[in-house]
Chains A and B, each alone.
Chain A
Amino acid sequence: TAGITQAPTSQILAAGRSMTLRCTQDMRHNAMYWYRQDLGLGLRLIHYSNTAGTTGKGEVPDGYSVSRANTDDFPLTLASAVPSQTSVYFCASSEKRGALTDTQYFGPGTRLTVL
């Protein structure tokens, strides 16, 4: 079973360039999330979407944007990358509309290096 796929697996990006990280899930989950993982800081929420057509900001949204045109896809865009955005990015999804009981399942991650 595919679950959640993310692309690319890794990327080196020049500062100032834009990039879109892709996330697709095949579980028909309503809610989707983007986290970044940094050494010593755990995972922090960037943006989320409770259902197609809606998005919200998380703990660290600056410099990132998202869209949710359909249920399956939740791309994360860096408009003008900066070195502090070097991180591992995880996409996650959960079945219901952000209900408290949800278990979130994670994609394999994208390792991004901004130089």
Chain B
Amino acid sequence: AQKVTQAQTEISVVEKEDVTLDCVYETRDTTYYLFWYKQPPSGELVFLIRRNSFDEQNEISGRYSWNFQKSTSSFNFTITASQVVDSAVYFCALSDSSNSGYALNFGKGTSLLVTP
């Protein structure tokens, strides 16, 4: 069973638009961690954020913000005033006790294209 669902396969926006990337997760644990990674066209995976299950406070970092809601098992990522450099594949991931070696269980990713 898929533990992390990113329902949006591809999103295309025009520069300066706001965009939200959805992430829904599934876990039986009360203690777990959620992550977002960015994979730009160059291919590397860049860590963006880590959030533990006990901290539902929303986080903002510049144009990036994250909305964690345990009631809906969601950890959504919003980019405000998108820029061309935001074009990338974004992965949501979950770490809980069921993962081998506490490895990350990734969603399939959302490809974001920001056009000028």
Among A17-25, A56-64, A77-85, the one that faces the other chain is A56-64
| Cβ–Cβ contact A42 & B91, under 8 A | yes
Stretch at the interface among B30-38, B59-67, B69-77: B30-38
Is A100 a contact of B31 with CB atoms below 8 Å?
Answer: yes
Contact check, A31 vs B101: say whether CB atoms are below 8 A apart. Answer: yes
Question: Interface extent on B, as a size class?
Answer: 20 to 34
Contact of B43 with A108 in the complex, beta carbons under 8 Å: yes
User: Nearest Cβ distance between residue A47 and chain B, in whole angstroms?
Assistant: 9
Question: Does chain B have a CB within 8 A of A104?
Answer: yes
Instruction: Find out whether the CB atom of B43 lies under 8 angstroms from the CB atom of A88.
Output: yes
Within 8 A of A (CB), among B1-59: 31-33, 35, 37, 43-45, 47, 50, 52
Min CB distance, B54 to chain A, in Å?
A: 11
Residue of B nearest to A32 (CB): B101
Q: Which interface residue of B31, B96, B107, B108 has the most chain A CB atoms within 10 A?
A: B108
Task: Please list 20 pairs of residues, one from A and one from B, whose beta carbons are closer than 8 Å in the complex, sorted by A's number.
Answer: A42-B108, A42-B109, A45-B104, A48-B101, A56-B101, A58-B100, A58-B103, A59-B100, A98-B101, A98-B102, A98-B103, A99-B102, A100-B97, A100-B102, A101-B50, A102-B95, A104-B47, A104-B104, A105-B47, A106-B45
Q: Does A11 contact B (CB under 8 A)?
A: no
Known: A40-B108, A42-B107. A102 touches B102 (CB 8 A): yes
Interface: B68 (CB within 8 A): no
Give the interface centre of A31, A42, A106 by most chain B CB atoms within 10 Å: A42
User: Is B44 in contact with A108, judged by CB distance below 8 angstroms?
Assistant: yes
Please give the number of chain A residues whose Cβ is less than 8 angstroms from any Cβ of chain B in the complex.
30
**In the bound complex, do residue A103 and residue B100 qualify as a contact, i.e. CB atoms below 8 Å apart?**
no
Q: Does A50 contact B (CB under 8 A)?
A: yes
B contact residues around A108 at 8 Å (CB):
43-44
Provide the bound-state CA to CA distance between A102 and B71, in Å: 24
Please, how many angstroms separate the alpha-carbon atoms of A31 and B95 in the complex?
A: 14
Excluding A45-B101, A45-B103, A104-B103, 5 further A-B contacts by CB distance (< 8 Å) are A40-B108, A44-B106, A57-B100, A98-B103, A103-B47
Q: What A residues does B108 contact at CB under 8 A?
A: 40-42
